[in-house]
Structure 1
Amino acid sequence: MDQFSLKGNTAVITGGARGLGFAFAEALAEAGANITILDIGTPQLGSLQTLAMKHSVKLEAYKVDVTSREQVNQVVETIEKEFGSVDVNINAAGVVTDEPFLTTSDKDLSSIFNANFVGSFLVAQACANAMVRKWEKIDKPKPQDAPLIGSIILISSVATHISTMAQQISCYTVSKAAVRGLVKPFAMELAQYGIRVEKTFPDLLKQFNQESMFGRVGEPDELKPAILYLAASTWTTGQDLLVDGGVSSWKHRGNW
């Protein structure tokens, strides 16, 4: 539908080389957006070319450490020059380790928080500054008539709403709770520039089948409608959107 068209927009997607991040890239490309991927990993051979040709969009992948402010700022500025603007940012990069809270090491504590929280903060900040630069170039209407300049989407975890017996992921969960904490203040500060900030919870893929009301884990494609809605909606900001197969809505019994 036209209201969900992103034709001419440019999306910056972290962790987009594979998995959920790539599924998000597919969803936005289907809606007409040009795609830029920030990842330390390498996309599957031919996957990006196939996606670009299928939907007639421009697509580029950049090898970036999202925990490096210098690298992040540099690549976002490059994207601005090569694509013209930054309109959508999806922060899907992240790491998780399955280990007990009592023995979580300093090394894992640091690496998980850097990748999941600091990386999301730095990329969202760089993209928001790019969006503000776009806002500064337009005539300033009254606040109620301000156009939508951009949208920032942060990927959290259903584990921040309900604990899972499938894994021991206390450090990961706390890092994702910190990501959740970014959404409302970001949304409040950036609204004046026509920038929306959202959060979604696609962590159903990390749960065992018995934790879902549907008796199975979710597929990456099942997150596409939520991501497209958050990227294209003009009247949603500062909200949580749980896409978890009902995991957080019932008291399930796991296997011990």
Structure 2
Amino acid sequence: MGRLKGRVAMITGAGRGIGFAAARRFAREGAQVCLTDIDEEGIRRAEESLRGEGLEVFGLRVDVTDRAQVESAVEEIVRRCGRLDILVNNAGVIRDNLLFKMTDEDWQTVMDVHLKGAFYCSRAAQKVMVEQKYGRIINISSTSALGNRGQANYSAAKAGLQGFTKTLAIELGKFGITVNAVAPGFIETEMTRATAERIGISFEQFVEEVKKQIPVGRIGQPEDVAAALLFFASEEASYVNGQVLYVAGGPKA
């Protein structure tokens, strides 16, 4: 406990799933956490839940594809907390389909949320972090970056985030800012439940099939990803920069 004491974190897509688990873990480790999400009702529920545990959090509705909203959120965090130390670019959506069925909107929506969103948030956050001479930017990629049927858009976006991560690591390292990525495998979230629904099977059936391919013999939980995020956000990872850590229960996607 206390590994993030005195730090201030902004987590996008924090209303549920991995983002919510990360917010809880960071706050339990002493950070002040700003939960952001486009779903205002979801962010309020998350804020109420974590405050009920005695954790220091606050929520802001933010559409990460809107530059003005992102910049305003960063300004508000600094106004409230005096600094911004950690950014987790977690906000994401899926619009799965085979290539010949994928619409322009399916493609663009996924690119905008994952890539434009990470770009806007990182650009706004680094201005503060450069002045502080300290920062941690952590991007959420995916094993889908290695290719996944029906996810040409999502796979391309998640692979793009890995290149984005490595480039920012080179540019920002001299300012005391590290940039890394976590690439989850199969994690039990609303998003993976939606995938089961898309392919027409129950989530339980989906899990049983997926588990056969995972060496540790189970699917992941949001808390598994939160633990990896905590490592990259901590002082222990100060010499780890530009890396992609797969949290997938095995060496393959």
TM-score normalised by the chain length of structure 2: 0.85
Aligned to 1:239: 243
Deviations 1:211-236 (A, max 9, x none): 31233321111122211100002111
Alignment of 1:1-256 (within 5 A): 5-41=3-39, 42-43=41-42, 46-57=45-56, 59-135=57-133, 149-161=134-146, 163-164=147-148, 168-205=150-187, 206=192, 208-232=210-234, 233-246=237-250, 248=252
- Name the SS of the counterpart of 1:196 in structure 2: strand
Q: Is the 8 A contact 2:84 2:125 kept in 1?
A: yes
In 2, Cα distance between the equivalents of 1:71 and 1:44?
15
Shift >3 Å, 4+ stretches: 44-47
How has the CA–CA distance of structure 1 residues 44 and 38 changed in structure 2, closer, same or farther, with 3 Å as cutoff?
closer
Q: Is the 8 A contact 1:32 1:55 kept in 2?
A: no
- Name the SS of the counterpart of 2:181 in structure 1: strand
Once the two structures are TM-superposed, the CA of residue 54 in structure 1 deviates from its matched residue by: 2.8
In 2, Cα distance between the equivalents of 1:217 and 1:8?
33
Once the two structures are TM-superposed, the CA of residue 45 in structure 1 deviates from its matched residue by: 6.0
In 1, Cα distance between the equivalents of 2:143 and 2:161?
12
**What RMSD in Å do the two structures reach over aligned CA positions?**
1.8
Aligned to 1:143: none
Deviations 1:130-166 (A, max 9, x none): 112323xxxxxxxxxxxxx1100000011113x34xx
In 2, Cα distance between the equivalents of 1:91 and 1:221?
16
Q: Is the 8 A contact 2:91 2:113 kept in 1?
A: yes
* Paired AA for residue 54 in structure 1: E
Once the two structures are TM-superposed, the CA of residue 84 in structure 1 deviates from its matched residue by: 0.8
- Name the SS of the counterpart of 1:204 in structure 2: coil
Aligned to 1:144: none
- Name the SS of the counterpart of 1:7 in structure 2: coil
Once the two structures are TM-superposed, the CA of residue 171 in structure 1 deviates from its matched residue by: 1.0
Deviations 1:1-32 (A, max 9, x none): 66xx1111110000001111001101101111
Question: Which consecutive unaligned segments of at least 5 residues does structure 2 have?
Answer: 193-206
Once the two structures are TM-superposed, the CA of residue 53 in structure 1 deviates from its matched residue by: 4.8
Question: Which consecutive unaligned segments of at least 5 residues does structure 1 have?
Answer: 136-148, 250-256
Once the two structures are TM-superposed, the CA of residue 82 in structure 1 deviates from its matched residue by: 0.8
> Percent of aligned pairs with the same residue?
33
Once the two structures are TM-superposed, the CA of residue 203 in structure 1 deviates from its matched residue by: 3.5
* Paired AA for residue 49 in structure 1: E
In 2, Cα distance between the equivalents of 1:221 and 1:212?
17
- Name the SS of the counterpart of 2:63 in structure 1: coil
Name the stretch that deviates more: 5-14 or 47-56. 47-56
* Paired AA for residue 180 in structure 1: Q
In 2, Cα distance between the equivalents of 1:209 and 1:13?
29
In 2, Cα distance between the equivalents of 1:132 and 1:234?
15
In 2, Cα distance between the equivalents of 1:47 and 1:219?
17
